[in-house]
Structure 1
Amino acid sequence: MAQNTPAPAAAFATTDATDPYLWLEDVQSERVDAWVAEKNQHSLGTLQSDPRYEGLYQQALDILQSRDRIPGVSIQRDGSLENFWQDAEHVRGIWRRTSMDSYNTANPQWETILDFDALAAAEGANWVYKGATCLAPEGRYCLISLSDGGKDAVTIREFDKVTKQFVEGGINLPESKSGVSWIDKDTLLISYAYDESSLTTSGYARTVRILKRGQTLDQAVQVFEGETTDMSVSGYTLRDADGVVKATFVQRMRDFYSSDKYILNADNSVTQVPMPAKGGINALVAGKLVISTDEDWTAPSGQTFKTGDIFAYDLDAWLADKSVQAELVLSPGEREAVEGISATRNRLVVALYENVRGSIYVYDPADWSRTRANLPENVTVGIGSTSSQNDQFFASVSGYLTPSSLYFGDAATGQMALSKSLPPKFDATGKIVEQHQAVSKDGTLVPYFVVRSENAPMDGSNPTLLYGYGGFQSSLLPSYSGPMGKLWLERGGVYVIANTRGGGEFGPRWHQAALQENRQRAHEDFQAVALDLIARGITSQPHLGIMGGSQGGLFMGAMLTQRPDLINAAVIQVPLFDMLRFHKLLAGASWMGEYGNPDIAEERAWIAEYSPYQRLSADAPYPEVFIHTSTKDDRVHPGHARKAAARLEELGHQVLFYENTDGGHAAGANLRESARRLALEYTYLTRRLIDTPQSTEAQGN
């Protein structure tokens, strides 16, 4: 751990009896609400009274509400394109469609399918759209997921895209963290947590049922039941390009990364099938079932596959005999990672990254030969919508200084053409992107990107924001952020992204190197990047700030409590913080596969070594931090952020705390709230990193 900040001598919050802030884990109560209101008043008063706040807010809002964005689309069976869109007039968003010909014009003509602002107003509800599942092959009837204020839990209602109305007397499932899949128009496969008896300890469903139209939930026939200690169970149908159901699967998630897979038989019994516990089905293309593995795995045929491999079976042959030979599709190299897999009618489309730079390859299932799509290099690429009727697909391209663009092409040939591109949202003149490597404590080379002015002085004076996440195999890939560029880069800031272990930048092994007892490696990677930035003269402690959310919020807490001597600001977003109780709060139990189980002594010991809440100290040189969360976050409990702020204040440290009463885990119930969050963050960073220490003190920080 850090040499500067020993853990507090007295055991704090190692048991419920020694945690004075357990009451802040009540999502809402009179006492909690009053505490939140007081903290919000102080923090908003401090930051919104800064003369720069309003300008930053307006700039962020203008970018977020701009119509000058590429509308991401999904290709429908009839060739039309659908899109979900938010702007100044539609802060909750609209679901709409257009034709391919119209989309390819400068000003497409859109037809509204469903207006969520109008729906919320008509029903007096704070609806946030969470997606739709439409019945193949026609796609007319859809199950719409609606969240109250942005929570993960949703209400599901049946909608008719032809009449543009919710189906009268149709399917209407109450709020739950649920999963639903169509079997046919009158039959659903549901994993629904509708009462305490049907929940796992993670708060997700532990049963899969078949629900017939007109039945109540308790009349649905149960086809599978998992254990309470499982993360979740779910079911889904596997359909071919024509929408025909080829098999129905049940998946039992034992933890976040390991699952058992079953096929649902005609008599509603299930049969477990041999697949990697860490890995699963990615696509069905031209009769081939494509599977990835995140562990070394031996197939029933005796074939062995390495972590990260992609392989395929002839589906009909595999359904008849699970010991048939598989075909190797792709075996990524040491510094390669598969970031996306999708299928057109006749081709497999793979986003493959090498040293955190993206490309797209299309594979022919006949022999798995591949062709590289003609896309720009040294950027992030993403697979967009693919067509089940032909080999058309979209691909997105962006970089830190490269505004987003959309390409359209033919997977059969790999030929792509620019469809749409955006003008810049900020002035990138004179800005450059560099990639460096830091040496972590154990000698591992950790890549990171630096976005800066080409003439930035290398004397340690640059205000620098270091961003990290470092978990759940989530890769931080080059991407264009208009708000970050406008509110930070344009004003002289440097932006740095650390590609630490725990992420997926180099595939499953890069992630697994920082799992559970090895979590500290990721923290050391992040610290190594900070040290390297300082060593290179890019920045120095008075000008270095850090930012991260969720798992990244835990990352920030670890940096704060282990190496506060390196930083002068920390934006800690919707964080995990009390890691001795994370598994008891909301969806926390589902993450024990990532962190370990605090109820097991050996695992609790390694978690306690870095859990930020318990390590906070009165004597450590913490900068004033900015912590924010959301009351409606039903994934990471707001109690983590509240308890962190309360403990810091108790120990005599300065802290700004803000809690949005809507918005869910992504804090994005509407665009104005998103703009406010951004303006608060960059006002805080300006005060801490750009202002001189004298002017910062004058502002009361």
Structure 2
Amino acid sequence: MTWAYPKVRRDEDLVEHLHGYRVADPYRWLEDPDSEETKAFVNAQNALTSKYLESYPYKEKFHKSLTKMFDYEKYGCPWKYGDNYYHFHNSGLQAQNVLYQLKGSLDASREEFFNPNTLEADGTAALNIYSFSKDGNYFSYGISKSGSDWVTVYVRKTINDEEGKKPLPDVIEWVKFSSLSWTVDEKGFFYNRFPEPRKTGDKGTETDSNKDSMLYYHRLGTSQSEDILVYKDPENPEYIFTGLTTMDGQFVIIDVTKDCEPVNKIYLIDLKKTNYQIIENHDFIKIVDNFDAEYFYLANDDSTFYFKTNANAPRYKIVKYDLTNSEQGFVDVIKEHPSDVLSDANVIADTKLVLTYMHDVCDRMYIHELSTGKFIKELPLEIGCIESFMGRREDQEFFFKFVSFLNPGIIYRYDFSKDLLTEYNKTKVNGLNSDKMETKQVFVESKDKTKIPIFIIKPKDINFDGNNPTFLYGYGGFNVCISPMFSTSWLSFVQHFNGVVVVSNLRGGGEYGEEWHRAGRFANKQNVFDDFQAVAKWLIDNNITRSGKLAINGGSNGGLLVGACINQAPELFGAAVADVGVMDMLRFHKFTIGHAWKSDYGDPDKKEDFEYIYKYSPLHNVQTKKPYPAVLLTTSDHDDRVVPLHSYKYISQLQYAAKNNPHPLIIRIDTKAGHGAGKPTQKKIDEAIDKFSFIVMSIDAEWRD
């Protein structure tokens, strides 16, 4: 079958000579999102894709079923500020989760505290960041629109009457990649911002590089123009800063990062020296002034500070540092585990350290003494992942949400005063027959004999005859762990198509610590693609599926993974869906926050890095020797993380070079949406239906009621 793709202009004259290579870039004009030509491209591509996806005869039935599965109550872990508890809740199909207040007790009836769904009729305004002041009297919150990373910050009181719900006059603009951290006197908070971009009209559609980050302090009741500049580094415009006040109120911790590598600097401000006033040009105590390791602040007892770190410990450990004995340096409190990764650490009930370790991509939880590191107990957990954790040092309790591929979530409460772990809330899903499904973990040998863990989610009664519709997901980068997670769209594929879902834990992630991460970055990036292809071959060799029945998917860095693999081994796959992928690896660092990804990919402006990047860059390695599987790219017009030009250029090159491909090569471009965060429920459902309709049509999967 031939496909009538939209005509896309090629600028054959745009050729650059990079490090001795002649590199054509005929679709660079698509980098301008505001040009009429780009807008016409988007409309034409969407028209083709929409027409194709609407041809799936079971799409309406699929949509109805998935909507029913999505329509279940979703609870977030409670947490306490001041006298009140708070938690997020979604009744089922609400666009955004709603924040509720429980006055004075966990047993109190919940009252709506903050509802993002009232901000935009279509649900595209989302609560991106938030913070309560120490005594719980104020709530600062950042709103993002249309999926953009930009947030506008507001403040309100926590008295939950009509007057209290009204935002105060304080409004903070151009905030991005920021936390909101209050000083203990509740007079203001720290935030990170960037200079106002050249294009200010429609936040999230600009492509300007995000540089020259600045750490500010906003004093409540003043205008943003009066905010105090706490720290910036003009000589290093790519650095990003976070400010945090210690619980005792004496110190401000400044965390300095340069990119996505798990390393940072740690500076302190001693507020005693300024009578606890935030001023410009503070003196800094530079505890860590290099980028050799990562230090995550946990707590401090006067001058002794506790950190989780990977310094000489790629699987992380707990250390302490005494300001009055700085020549001693960092002292181990809990040493690195011989095999498991310390993924999270929290100080609760004043003196207790709650640690989460990852063992073969499943979580285990332990309690230790903070000061000595002495082991106290392990909390019993099933096989799965801790999705969220809520608790502070001043609390005598903590909550955590435990999920797995077949379990949407159980919230547990641990009470230190009673040494008691209890079930607080259990989620149930409508229309899902998860009791007829099962999960197992297998280790697959990659090209270089490295063992790659995968999870297989499947019907209990399935017969592996080499003909099963199979969905393979991967990421493999930036030290990110792909832990067990609950996905209604994945399970609907299992339920309605007798499908198999496979989740791969590739090198480049953080599943086994920093060594695992380093094995999949820079010149080792090909290991990630080899791992993913090895898993695909294993699925075929073990008669679980065959290439024509195998669909692959990944998003962001995982979109790059999909693009590279269909270029390198298209014969392995029947369908490929690449979501918001990084496809132009020679120019990724020139747009928005892309420069921060050089810590994983390398720098294309350096010849030694260019040599290996150019070999796998999806845009520059489209081949014509083998047919491609059916390919769907997805992106969004307000994605200011991985700007949509990556997908625009790659699909154009695919359609041009493989115009006679027997399978469709198409793109879905969403509007009023970004990289994924804050996406309203209806958009999530619509996107899932389009993706899986494309997949099941491509691999000829049969619908089952």
Q: TM-score, normalization: structure 1?
A: 0.87
Q: Which deviates further from its counterpart, 367-376 or 29-38?
A: 367-376
Measured in 2, the distance between the counterparts of 1:129 and 1:468 equals 28
Which residue in the other structure is 1:699 paired with? none
**1:308 partnered with 2:315:** yes
Which residue in the other structure is 2:295 paired with? 280
Please report how far the alpha carbon of residue 587 of structure 1 lies from its aligned counterpart in structure 2 after TM superposition.
1.1
**1:153 partnered with 2:150:** yes
Measured in 2, the distance between the counterparts of 1:33 and 1:542 equals 34
Q: Is the 8 A contact 1:451 1:494 kept in 2?
A: yes
Please report how far the alpha carbon of residue 656 of structure 1 lies from its aligned counterpart in structure 2 after TM superposition.
2.2
Measured in 2, the distance between the counterparts of 1:546 and 1:11 equals 35
Measured in 2, the distance between the counterparts of 1:662 and 1:322 equals 51
Query: Which residue, out of 352, 357, 361, partners 1:356?
Result: 361
Q: Secondary structure at the match of 1:323?
A: helix
- Uncovered stretches (5+) of structure 2, i.e. residues with no partner: 1-11, 199-205, 275-281
Q: Secondary structure at the match of 2:326?
A: coil
Measured in 2, the distance between the counterparts of 1:324 and 1:45 equals 68
Which residue in the other structure is 1:194 paired with? 195
Q: Is the 8 A contact 2:469 2:497 kept in 1?
A: no
Q: Which deviates further from its counterpart, 435-444 or 501-510?
A: 435-444
Q: Secondary structure at the match of 2:190?
A: strand
Q: Secondary structure at the match of 1:560?
A: helix
Which residue in the other structure is 1:578 paired with? 584
Which residue identity lines up with residue 680 of structure 2 in the other structure? N
**1:113 partnered with 2:120:** no
Please report how far the alpha carbon of residue 578 of structure 1 lies from its aligned counterpart in structure 2 after TM superposition.
0.7
Measured in 1, the distance between the counterparts of 2:524 and 2:379 equals 40
Cα pair distance change 1:553/1:604, threshold 3 Å:
same
Cα pair distance change 1:209/1:378, threshold 3 Å:
closer
Measured in 1, the distance between the counterparts of 2:493 and 2:149 equals 30
Which residue identity lines up with residue 131 of structure 2 in the other structure? T
Q: Deviations over 1:565-601 (max 9, x none)?
A: 1111111111111111110122100111111111111
Please report how far the alpha carbon of residue 683 of structure 1 lies from its aligned counterpart in structure 2 after TM superposition.
0.7
Q: Is the 8 A contact 1:396 1:406 kept in 2?
A: yes
Measured in 2, the distance between the counterparts of 1:48 and 1:532 equals 34
Q: TM-score, normalization: structure 2?
A: 0.87
Which residue in the other structure is 2:526 paired with? 520
Which residue in the other structure is 1:165 paired with? 165
Q: Deviations over 1:624-682 (max 9, x none)?
A: 21111111111111111111111111111431211111221116531111100010111
Please report how far the alpha carbon of residue 485 of structure 1 lies from its aligned counterpart in structure 2 after TM superposition.
0.8
Q: Is the 8 A contact 1:469 1:549 kept in 2?
A: yes
Q: Is the 8 A contact 1:201 1:231 kept in 2?
A: no
Please report how far the alpha carbon of residue 126 of structure 1 lies from its aligned counterpart in structure 2 after TM superposition.
4.8
Cα pair distance change 1:13/1:186, threshold 3 Å:
farther
Alignment of 1:466-485 (within 5 A): 466-485=472-491
**1:491 partnered with 2:505:** no
Alignment of 1:210-359 (within 5 A): 210-213=217-220, 216-227=223-234, 229-240=236-247, 244-257=248-261, 258-265=263-270, 266=273, 268-274=282-288, 277-284=292-299, 289-296=305-312, 306-313=313-320, 318-324=322-328, 326-346=330-350, 347-359=352-364
Which residue identity lines up with residue 151 of structure 1 in the other structure? S
Please report how far the alpha carbon of residue 22 of structure 1 lies from its aligned counterpart in structure 2 after TM superposition.
1.2
Cα pair distance change 1:294/1:261, threshold 3 Å:
same
Measured in 2, the distance between the counterparts of 1:185 and 1:173 equals 17
Q: Secondary structure at the match of 1:683?
A: helix
Please report how far the alpha carbon of residue 189 of structure 1 lies from its aligned counterpart in structure 2 after TM superposition.
3.0
Q: Is the 8 A contact 1:279 1:293 kept in 2?
A: yes
Which residue in the other structure is 1:685 paired with? 695
Measured in 2, the distance between the counterparts of 1:375 and 1:79 equals 30
Measured in 2, the distance between the counterparts of 1:206 and 1:325 equals 30
Q: Secondary structure at the match of 2:577?
A: strand
Query: Which residue, out of 64, 70, 75, partners 1:64?
Result: 70
Cα pair distance change 1:205/1:113, threshold 3 Å:
farther
Q: Is the 8 A contact 2:320 2:333 kept in 1?
A: no
Cα pair distance change 1:129/1:204, threshold 3 Å:
farther
Measured in 2, the distance between the counterparts of 1:470 and 1:494 equals 21
Measured in 2, the distance between the counterparts of 1:339 and 1:424 equals 29
Q: Is the 8 A contact 2:585 2:614 kept in 1?
A: yes
Alignment of 1:528-677 (within 5 A): 528-651=534-657, 652=659, 653=661, 654-666=664-676, 668-677=678-687
Q: Is the 8 A contact 1:114 1:164 kept in 2?
A: no
Query: Which residue, out of 96, 101, 111, partners 1:97?
Result: 101
Q: Is the 8 A contact 2:341 2:511 kept in 1?
A: yes
Q: Percent of counterpart pairs with the same letter?
A: 23
Which residue in the other structure is 1:369 paired with? 374
Which residue identity lines up with residue 112 of structure 2 in the other structure? T
Alignment of 1:417-496 (within 5 A): 417-425=422-430, 426-496=432-502
Which residue identity lines up with residue 298 of structure 2 in the other structure? A
Which residue identity lines up with residue 128 of structure 2 in the other structure? K
Which residue in the other structure is 1:399 paired with? 404
Q: Deviations over 1:158-179 (max 9, x none)?
A: 112214334443x211233253
Q: Is the 8 A contact 1:362 1:411 kept in 2?
A: no
**1:139 partnered with 2:160:** no
Measured in 2, the distance between the counterparts of 1:397 and 1:285 equals 28
Measured in 1, the distance between the counterparts of 2:136 and 2:105 equals 21
Q: Deviations over 1:402-459 (max 9, x none)?
A: 3421111135776412222123552134433222112122221111111123343333
Please report how far the alpha carbon of residue 338 of structure 1 lies from its aligned counterpart in structure 2 after TM superposition.
1.8
Please report how far the alpha carbon of residue 14 of structure 1 lies from its aligned counterpart in structure 2 after TM superposition.
6.2
Q: Is the 8 A contact 2:212 2:232 kept in 1?
A: no
Measured in 2, the distance between the counterparts of 1:545 and 1:165 equals 48
Which residue in the other structure is 2:9 paired with? none
Please report how far the alpha carbon of residue 224 of structure 1 lies from its aligned counterpart in structure 2 after TM superposition.
2.4
Cα pair distance change 1:378/1:540, threshold 3 Å:
same
- Uncovered stretches (5+) of structure 1, i.e. residues with no partner: 1-9, 297-305, 696-701
Cα pair distance change 1:667/1:143, threshold 3 Å:
closer
Measured in 2, the distance between the counterparts of 1:175 and 1:232 equals 16
Which residue identity lines up with residue 291 of structure 1 in the other structure? F
Q: Is the 8 A contact 2:553 2:578 kept in 1?
A: yes
Which residue identity lines up with residue 284 of structure 1 in the other structure? A
Q: Is the 8 A contact 2:195 2:213 kept in 1?
A: no
Q: Which deviates further from its counterpart, 386-395 or 564-573?
A: 386-395
Q: Which deviates further from its counterpart, 490-499 or 263-272?
A: 263-272
Cα pair distance change 1:361/1:591, threshold 3 Å:
same
Which residue in the other structure is 1:698 paired with? none
Which residue in the other structure is 2:202 paired with? none
Please report how far the alpha carbon of residue 89 of structure 1 lies from its aligned counterpart in structure 2 after TM superposition.
6.6
Measured in 1, the distance between the counterparts of 2:103 and 2:490 equals 33
Please report how far the alpha carbon of residue 228 of structure 1 lies from its aligned counterpart in structure 2 after TM superposition.
6.0
Which residue identity lines up with residue 384 of structure 2 in the other structure? V
Please report how far the alpha carbon of residue 605 of structure 1 lies from its aligned counterpart in structure 2 after TM superposition.
0.9
Measured in 2, the distance between the counterparts of 1:568 and 1:151 equals 33
Q: Is the 8 A contact 2:14 2:26 kept in 1?
A: no
Measured in 2, the distance between the counterparts of 1:209 and 1:422 equals 40
Measured in 1, the distance between the counterparts of 2:440 and 2:666 equals 33
Q: Which deviates further from its counterpart, 178-187 or 544-553?
A: 178-187
Cα pair distance change 1:310/1:511, threshold 3 Å:
same
Q: Secondary structure at the match of 1:245?
A: coil
Which residue identity lines up with residue 226 of structure 1 in the other structure? D
Please report how far the alpha carbon of residue 395 of structure 1 lies from its aligned counterpart in structure 2 after TM superposition.
2.0
Cα pair distance change 1:599/1:255, threshold 3 Å:
same
